[in-house]
Amino acid sequence: MARQLDPLVRGQQIGDLQILDHLLAFNEQAEVIGSRIQAVRRIGKEVVFELERADHPEDDWLLAVHLRMTGRLIHESGRLAEGRGERHLRAVLELKRGRVLFYDMRRFGTFRLYRTLADALPAGQEPLDRSFTATRLNSLIKGSNTAVKVWLLRQDRICGIGNIYASEILHDCGIDPFRPAVSLNEPELNSLVSSTKKILRKAIRHCGTTFSDFQNANGEVGGYQRFLRVYQHAGEGCHSCGTEILRAVQAQRSTFWCPACQR
Ligand SMILES: [Zn+2]
Q: Which domains does the chain have, with CATH numbers?
A: 2-120 (3.20.190.10), 134-257 (1.10.8.50)
Report the pLDDT value the prediction gives residue 217, as an integer from 0 to 100: 31
pLDDT band at 221 (very low <50, low <70, confident <90, very high): low
Give residue 190 CA to ligand 1 midpoint distance, Å.
20
More confident residue, 216 or 101: 101
User: What's the 226 CA to ligand 1 centre distance in angstroms?
Assistant: 18
C-alpha–C-alpha distance, residues 63 and 27, integer Å? 12
Which of 16-25, 81-90, 219-228 shows the highest mean pLDDT? Answer: 16-25
Residues 240-257 have pLDDT tens digits of: 999 999 999 999 999 999
Q: How far does residue 122's CA lie from ligand 1's centre (Å)?
A: 34
pTM over 0.85, yes/no: no
Q: How confident is the model at residue 210 (pLDDT cuts 50, 70, 90)?
A: very low
| Contact indicator for 80, 89 with CB cutoff of 8 Å | no
Tell me how far the alpha carbon of residue 173 lies from the centroid of ligand 1, in angstroms. 11
Give the pLDDT score at 190: 98
pLDDT digits (tens, 9 = 90+) for 54-93: 888 877 899 999 988 788 898 888 766 555 557 899 999 9
List, for residues 199-209, the tens digit of each pLDDT value: 999 988 876 33
Using the mean position of ligand 1's atoms as its centre, give its distance from the Cα of residue 256 in Å. Answer: 11
Q: What pLDDT shows up at residue 215?
A: 40
- Please give the distance, rounded to the nearest whole angstrom, from the Cα atom of residue 262 to the centre of ligand 1: 7
